[in-house]
Amino acid sequence: MTAAPQTPVHQPPGVRPARLRLGLTQFGTSFLVLVLLTLIGCVNYDLSLGYGLTFLLAGVWVVAAAQALQAARRLRVSVSAPAEATAGQDARFTLRVSAEGRGLPLAVIATTTQGDTRYLNARVPDGEALNLSLRVPARVRGPLGLSGLKVGALDTLALWQVNLTAPALPSVLVQPAPEEGAPPAPPRVQGGPGDGGRRTAGDEEFSGLRPYAPGDSPRQVSWRHVARTGTLLTRETDAPLGSATVLDWEDTAGAGELEARLSRLAAWITQLRGGQRPFALNLPGETLSAGSGDGHAQGALNALARFTPLPQPPERREHRTSPPVPLSAGPMRATLLALAFALAPAALRQPWWITALIVGLLLHTDWRVGRGREPLPTWGLGLVAGLSAALLGGTYGTLLGRDAGTALLALLAALKTAESTTRRDANLLVLLGLFVTSTQFFFSQGPLTALHTVLAAWALLAAAARWTVPAAPGQDAPQGEVLAQVGSVLALAAPLALTLFVLFPRPAGPLWTLALQGQATTGLADEITAGEFSDLAQSRAVAFRADFQGPVPPPEQRYWRGPVYEAYDGQRWGQVRQNSASASIDFTGPVWSYTLTLEPTSSPWVPALDVPARLPEGTFLTTGFQAVSLRPLTTRRRLTLESRTARLGIRENEDRLRFDQSLPPGESPRALALAAAWRALPPEDRVGAGLDFLRGGGFSYTLSPPRLPERNRVDAFLFGSRQGFCEHYASAFVFLMRAAGLPARIVGGYLGGEQNPDGGYLIVRQQDAHAWAEVWLPGQGWVRVDPTALIAPARVNAGLQTALTSPQATVAPARSPLARLQLRLDGVQSRWNDLVIGYDDLRQQQLLGWLGLGGVGSPAYLLALPILLLLALLPALWLRRQLARPRDPAARALHDLSVRLGVPRGPGETASAYALRVRQDRPHLSAGLDELVRAYHAARYAPPAPGARGRNEALVALKSALRRIRR
């Protein structure tokens, strides 16, 4: 019996698998977890700008899915088996892939019938077909096929993968490996009569044409017939049958076991094939007649490959995921630079040794990867992490606070670079960088922070894109091109991020309570000592902004009431809690309506003018007429209040009045004796006597007073140094009033505020922190007395800086150009606070009501939300559709024709071959297709005609021919 050569089964050119299966990659799943974690943090800590970053990353995640789906629809795949394969070597299957329009990254997973799995990453070039060599092990002889083939189209960042399963999978017969050092073939020959008798296959004379079979030599192909008919034909030749070697199964008895005997026969066939000598083959149950040439030899080897029993391939345990991909210098350097940029703002607030350690680790990693050195040992990195954590805990007192926690997180990210060895590690560095970037919002949510956040996310995502398909050394994609691709993804994600920012439900309170331990920014503490407010006066940081709905109060009425200090031990003034009924409030003056934008602080005080007549939800008024928030103001808050001047505490609790006259025994006897002499005077005259003493005592206003002793501090100030700041004067005056028999206390808060002409609001800074006195007078209640205004009137009328240089000034000097610029920048910051930072649950409810959507969860809201989200995705869908079109105008016209007709082109299919295939199903389009093909060739290949406008006219003719073709 004669066996014909085995023809591999292969997929027809240009097949596009119909099934599209969208799935997350490992990096995409981790990316989604990061988005959820940052969202939870934003909800709990009310980080409005954090919502922006979170929704931008979520938009990238969604746009990447659309990108992967669109890329998969443009994909054309065909696969073919090798002409032959030998056991013990790799069989090279050929995967031909093309994509209409722009190129795209691919991930290929192939499984074989012999139990192996192979992974391959590649990138399809723009508008070209790519032939990928898929090398799979041929472990044993016999049939070897692809039991599974998944071609995954990836997005730019490799967050998503759309798997396409090829409908037809090829196979090849794996031939036995020829025996090394095999003895010569036996001398058994088969004779023939020579010329005029029987003939056999040979290379001497032409005998006819037959269809092309894989393995035929290109020299035997009749290219003349190929050019005329488009069909591959092979010339057959023969020669007189002389003597042919006969290879018999029995001749291999001395070789050993079955596979060894087949290997010896394969060696003999290879020897005879190389010498172009004819041979015959006798196997148990199968005989090949004498012949020669490549086709005859391949048929004999295939007969050996099919010989039964077939061997079983060894069992192999394959991983379900792709093997680790080692680091390459170019993408790793981009990752390190992006991570360094993300960590840079932390250098302004964390200990210097943390910054130095991070810089050293990043530089070492760049040096190590560039030279292929081993990573630092894990035990050494663990030791560094442990020591650093201990030092940070000692510096900040805890590792759970904001400052220590973010510093430790930045260090851990740098330590991770030192042990990174694979692409998975690099992807983890990208995620760590994004998470560290989100922690910047605990410190600032200003426009500069927003700009840095976007740029850091852009750089980190561009670094992730460099890892999508690792290039060969020296062939990395240009960084500018990668940045442009990632920038387009961010731009397409922006509409979705904005829609989510506006419509995503904002909870009214945190999910759990965990204070962010950090330094207070308002300067109003639970207790004060001498020097407390003078320290705050050194800072120009903004405490809050006040935007009035109407005229701004004059400077002498800008007393922003804060904590009330009533308990005195000789050194400190502290607050007390009274369980008595609230004192009376008799409103007398006009109403001031204003909105406070409070900077973050660890205290709950809400500074208010005079007495609040209306408080916002979540706040209350204490018995000391102090506005307090129910939860600490750990994030920037906007509160709307109404205040009025009033007579406070005309009906006051007697126990409180007695407490506010108490003094520690034996403290400051000279001041006690001075004030005791005033007890006989009427209450108003006692206040006047105290002010007259300060007015005529040669006192001065300074931020650097002499240090006061621990005992008899009031005596040392009134009769000694006579230099001090507001808390010195308030403390001494309250002491004198209590010694004179009047209830008195200290009120802390802020005084003044700088009006910004660009917006008309007041800016109250930390340096405006102030302390004044309140004295209770019969029939008048608590009366505000500011002894500092007596010593330095400019403190009330002109501000702190003017009071330090010209205490008696009545107006502030003209602003410098730099000060005016600072006010304009603050105006930008204020509008940013209103639109972005201050967008909370209340503002959202107001906006939804104005849009007619009701509240969150209403039917109108639930109906509008998916519609608006879909509209936000339309730019991404439209642009991705445009990217599917080739860049070349002529090729783009041919692509538009395939879309219009619904007949996709195959990989590498020419315009003429495509038109011929379409014409067979739609003959009525023949004339239009011929015209279009001629115009396409003229536009794509022909030189410009003399005297014409060149290719532009050819393109116009091509577009005109395209318009005339209809389905």
Q: State the Cα–Cα distance between residues 8 and 169, nearest whole angstrom.
A: 10
Note the Cα 437 to chain centre separation in Å.
9
Specify whether the CB–CB gap between 489 and 60 falls below 8 A: yes
Q: State the Cα–Cα distance between residues 42 and 50, nearest whole angstrom.
A: 6
Instruction: Print the SS3 string covering 283-336.
Output: ECCEEEEEECCHHHHHHHHHHHHHCCCCCCCCCCCCCCCCCCCECCHHHHHHHH
Measuring CA to CA, which residue among 290, 597, 266, 644 is closest to residue 445? 597
- Residue in this structure with the two tokens 């290219």, named with its chain if needed: 223
Q: Which of 366, 715, 786, 826 is catalytic?
A: 786
Beta bridge partners of 154: 161
Beta bridge partners of 413: none
- State which amino acid sits at residue 92: R
DSSP 3-state of 605: strand
Joined together, the tokens standing for residue 933 give 């093909």
Beta bridge partners of 248: 282
Joined together, the tokens standing for residue 489 give 């993804």
- State which amino acid sits at residue 682: P
Measuring CA to CA, which residue among 499, 454, 496 is closest to residue 64? 496
Indicate the burial class of 757 (C-beta count within 10 angstroms; 0-12, 13-18, 19 or more). Answer: exposed
- Other C-beta atoms lying within 10 Å of the C-beta of residue 463: 26
Measuring CA to CA, which residue among 608, 645, 643 is closest to residue 629? 608
Q: State the Cα–Cα distance between residues 115 and 142, nearest whole angstrom.
A: 14
Q: Which of 10, 296, 452, 770 is catalytic?
A: 770
Q: State the Cα–Cα distance between residues 468 and 325, nearest whole angstrom.
A: 11
Our answer to whether residue 425 is catalytic in this structure is: no
Specify whether the CB–CB gap between 291 and 281 falls below 8 A: no
Our answer to whether residue 42 is catalytic in this structure is: no
Torsion region of 192: left, alpha or beta (phi above 0 gives left; psi -120 to 50 gives alpha):
beta
Q: In this structure, what DSSP letter does residue 965 have? A: -
Q: What are phi and psi of 289, to 5 degrees?
A: -70, 165
Our answer to whether residue 726 is catalytic in this structure is: yes
- Residue in this structure with the two tokens 């030279």, named with its chain if needed: 371
Joined together, the tokens standing for residue 917 give 């295939």
Q: Which of 216, 726, 728, 826 is catalytic?
A: 726
How far separated are the first and last CA of the chain, in Å rounded? 53
Cα dihedral sign for 900, 905, 910, 916? Answer: negative
Q: State the Cα–Cα distance between residues 423 and 126, nearest whole angstrom.
A: 25
- The secondary structure of 932-962 as a DSSP string is HHHHHHHHHTSPPPTTS-THHHHHHHHHHHH
CA distances (Å), 384 to each of 387, 396, 414, 486, in order? Answer: 5, 18, 11, 35
- Residue in this structure with the two tokens 């603050």, named with its chain if needed: 826
Specify whether the CB–CB gap between 806 and 794 falls below 8 A: yes
Spell out the residues 6+ positions from residue 905 whose beta carbon is closer than 8 angstroms to its own. Answer: 14, 76, 100, 894, 895, 898, 914
- State which amino acid sits at residue 429: L
- At residue 57's C-alpha, the angle toward residues 55 and 62, to 5°, is 90
Catalytic residue positions? 726, 770, 786
